[in-house]
A = this chain, B = another copy of it.
Amino acid sequence: MRVIYNEQMADLAHLLGEMAGLAGSAMERATQSLLQADLSLAEQVISEGDRIADMIIDAEERAFALLALQAPVAGDLRQVVSAIQIVNDVNRMGALALHVAKTTRRRHPNPALPESVHGYFAEMGRIAVSMGAGAKEVLETRDPKRAAQLNQDDEAMDDLHKHLFTLLMDRDWKDGVAAAVDVTLLGRYYERFADHAVEIGRRVIFLVTGVLPPDADPEPAV
């Protein structure tokens, strides 16, 4: 039983890691589609959304089968329960990348982003991609140091998000209300993407060390 459990749990962790990697890659291309108003790239990201959705169902079924057939206890059980919770986080990361791509598509052929905030989104995109890759690595290696590093990335994301809102709230904002609305939602998508990556890191740290790190503050930085 124990050998089978270990093998199946490793497979499930690998699948979760793959999904986090896919969400990161989706966010990378979604960001590029946004910066370049590239419709075909946006469409590509959107059509790949079904693939992540199928993997979600697969992961949930595997976790259920592990519980039903292997009846794990103690630390093993905790691993499976964490996997069920992590599925939700990677699912949301994928959905948020799709939201970005859909914003590109909705505004096409106009760009959704005014030039004045390109630099912010290029950087928020870079951090999001790095966090997707970090979450994947953490899921596969269970390295608590790498998991803690996700918090630093998240702080950088929060700083950018705060600056972005300072720009939006400034009387000198010249790009009008409609662009401000898009920028507001887009900023929130990146910030939430980062929060979910941090949450994955927290759950892995808990599995390895038995201590759950303090919650990331999900309050928007407005």
Chain A residues close to B by CB (< 8 Å):
63-64, 67-68, 71, 73-74, 77-78, 81, 84-85, 88, 95, 98-99, 102-103, 106, 165, 168-169, 173, 176-178, 180-182, 184-185, 188, 218-220, 222
CA gap between A177 and B182 in the complex, in Å:
12
Q: How many copies does the complex hold?
A: 2
Provide 20 A-B residue pairs closer than 8 Å at the C-beta atoms, listed in order of the A residue.
A64-B77, A64-B81, A67-B77, A68-B74, A84-B84, A84-B85, A88-B88, A99-B218, A106-B222, A168-B177, A169-B177, A169-B178, A177-B177, A180-B180, A180-B181, A180-B184, A181-B184, A181-B222, A184-B185, A185-B188
Instruction: Determine whether the beta carbon of B64 is less than 8 Å from that of A68.
Output: no
* With A67-B77, A173-B177 as contacts: A222 and B84 at CB distance below 8 Å: no
Which residues of B lie under 8 Å from residue A67 when comparing CB positions?
67, 77, 81
B220 touches A99 (CB 8 A): yes
Q: Is the CB of A185 within 8 A of B220?
A: yes
The 8 closest A-B pairs by CB, nearest first: A184-B184, A177-B180, A181-B184, A169-B178, A71-B71, A168-B181, A173-B177, A84-B84
